[in-house]
């Protein structure tokens, strides 16, 4: 179980933040019919008996930026919005999981999610070799650490080269000048000592790379995270896949604000976590695709789905599902149905779902519904740094170059869907986390940074709700569906 923070944050530190209170009060006044010019907030035609409005929600991946997701959903909940279908990747999968299992669909969940954040020592999630933990911490928290480390290494190598050169020169001169024998000996001792240090260092690095290979090319096992999320699921009576599906599906009695020919019969809740499977190179949707790996899906761990979704390559070890009964006809049928694969693998290896779909809003697309009954909301985390937004391709830093390459891969699939179905973009709110102050892998966040991220998420949600127009969204979605059917 993760250790608790030395100075423990409280839920109140987040929700009673001055900016959050002011933003929420202003938003409520905007949609208060009793206020001057106020109008009721309408974001959906699906309601429960208490007047909560239901939407589908997808949450983007982004490491520790997941705290901003909680700020965003906190505002939505405070404004009476609830979530029918939920989906998320990586950090988005974590908040999606907690919002699925905590309490009932009609209840607010943010306080409990925030409590889990307050109780968690983020650095405990970096549970790899001590040397790796130190390297990661220095790399993330110390500015220009790589450049400084490189300069130190160059100094050491230069010193080693000078000592070797000194050995050669002094050996030659000492035969003519016996007085130099002492300096020759000292030079040999120093070069020998430095050779020993470099040899040990190289051997240690080689050993670390062997460890990395043997551990599935991941610096951190991810065991602490798995135990943490599993405990939270168990505390909310979710031990099996069936428990998870039951929690996701249970809804209060729903009603329509206005008549809709599609009715409410097939409208029900579910949850989806996205993971990338490397053996067959496919996008996996948990728990919907559990039949690919087990004939009895309850032998799989729901905590493993979230662990698979957030397996950041190199940072965390891959998540594995072993001993797949690949010769069982039911397993074969499942692989053929989903992917056209006739010979299933006996082992599946998962990395971060964001590799293939970091913002899986496409799973909410329903071609059978002409007039939408509820919108699909999305929370987009914009973590592109100012220096990496430069259009001049020759001015990018090395990290900027790899950052753009990684973002191109992980965002293309979802971006392609939004380009073809632009109306869905109107349901997406964006949280600006592009400041150099923030790093999505910074598991050493200060309490202030955590609160600041929550505030950014809350402000983004307020801005989104002020501009979202349900009637326009509904009409445009209807037009899109009609065009697609034609």
b/e map 292-304, b = 16+ CB within 10 Å: bbbeebeebbbbb
CB within 8 Å of 71: residues ≥ 6 apart: 14, 20, 431, 453, 454, 455, 456, 457, 458, 459, 460, 461
Can you count the helices (H) and strands (E) in the chain?
Answer: 15, 12
In terms of residues, how long is the chain? 486
For strand 53-59 and strand 81-89, is the pairing parallel, antiparallel, or unpaired?
Answer: parallel
Q: Which residue has the tokens 């009476």?
A: 80
Q: Which residues are catalytic?
A: 90, 352
The pair of three-digit structure tokens given for residue 329, joined into one six-digit string: 């006809």
Q: Are 120 and 229 in contact (CB under 8 A)?
A: no
How far, in Å, CA of 426 to CA of 418, rounded? 10
CA–CA separation, 451 and 64 (whole Å):
12
CA atoms within 13 Å, Cβ hemisphere of 98: 26
Beta carbons of 370 and 262 less than 8 angstroms apart: yes
127: Cβ contacts below 8 Å, ≥ 6 apart? 220, 221, 222, 223, 224, 225
Picking from 284, 274, 272, the residue whose alpha carbon sits closest to that of residue 341 is: 284
Complete DSSP assignment for 348-363 = EEEEEGGGT-SS-GGG
Task: Report CA torsion sign: 229, 234, 238, 241.
Answer: positive
Q: How many C-beta atoms lie closer than 10 Å to residue 323's C-beta?
A: 11
CA distances to 80, 116, 226, 275, 391 from 301, rounded to whole Å, are: 32, 20, 10, 14, 45
Q: How far apart are CA 444 and CA 140, in angstroms?
A: 8
């Amino acid at each position: 179980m993760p250790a608790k923070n030395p100075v423990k944050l409280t839920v109140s530190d987040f929700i009673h933040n001055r900016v959050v209170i002011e933003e929420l009060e202003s938003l409520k006044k905007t949609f208060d019919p009793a206020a001057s010019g106020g109008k009721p907030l309408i974001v959906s035609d699906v309601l429960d008996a208490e007047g909560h409005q239901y939407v589908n929600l997808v949450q983007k991946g982004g490491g520790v930026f997941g705290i901003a997701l909680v700020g965003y959903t906190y505002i939505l909940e405070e404004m009476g919005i609830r979530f029918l279908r939920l989906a998320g990747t990586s950090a988005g999968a974590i908040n999606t999981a907690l919002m699925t299992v905590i309490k009932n669909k009609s209840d607010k969940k943010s306080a409990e999610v925030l409590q889990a954040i307050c109780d968690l020592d983020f650095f405990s999630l970096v549970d790899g070799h001590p040397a790796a933990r130190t390297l990661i911490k220095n790399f993330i928290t110390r500015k220009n650490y790589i450049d400084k480390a490189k300069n130190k290494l160059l100094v050491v190598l230069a010193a080693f080269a000078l000592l070797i050169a000194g050995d050669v020169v002094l050996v030659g001169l000492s035969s003519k000048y016996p007085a130099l024998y002492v300096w020759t000996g000292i030079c040999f001792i120093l070069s020998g000592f430095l050779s020993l240090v470099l040899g040990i260092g190289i051997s240690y690095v080689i050993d670390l790379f062997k460890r990395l290979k043997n551990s599935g090319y991941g610096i951190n096992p991810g065991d602490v995270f798995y135990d943490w999320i599993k405990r939270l699921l168990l505390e909310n009576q979710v031990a099996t896949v069936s428990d998870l599906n039951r929690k996701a599906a249970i809804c209060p009695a729903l009603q329509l604000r206005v008549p809709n020919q599609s009715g409410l019969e097939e409208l029900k809740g579910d949850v989806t976590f996205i993971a990338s499977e490397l053996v067959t190179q496919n996008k996996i949707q948990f728990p919907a695709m559990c039949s690919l790996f087990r004939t009895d899906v309850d032998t799989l761990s729901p905590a493993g789905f979230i662990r698979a979704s957030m397996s950041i390559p190199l940072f965390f070890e891959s998540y594995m599902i072993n001993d797949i009964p690949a010769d069982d006809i039911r397993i074969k049928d499942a692989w053929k149905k989903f992917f056209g694969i006739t010979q299933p693998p006996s082992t599946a290896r998962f990395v971060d779902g964001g590799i293939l779909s970091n913002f899986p809003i496409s799973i909410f697309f329903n071609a059978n519904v002409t007039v939408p009954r509820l919108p699909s909301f999305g929370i987009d985390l914009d973590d592109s740094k100012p220096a990496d937004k430069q259009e001049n391709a020759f001015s990018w830093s090395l990290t900027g170059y790899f950052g753009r390459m990684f973002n191109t891969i992980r965002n293309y699939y979802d971006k392609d869907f939004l380009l073809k179905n632009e109306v869905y973009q109107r349901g997406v709110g964006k949280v600006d986390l592009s400041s150099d102050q923030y790093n999505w892998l910074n598991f050493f966040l200060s309490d202030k940074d955590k609160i600041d991220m929550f505030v950014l998420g809350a402000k983004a949600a307020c801005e989104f709700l002020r501009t979202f127009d349900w009637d326009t969204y509904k009409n445009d979605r209807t037009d899109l569906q009609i065009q697609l059917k034609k």
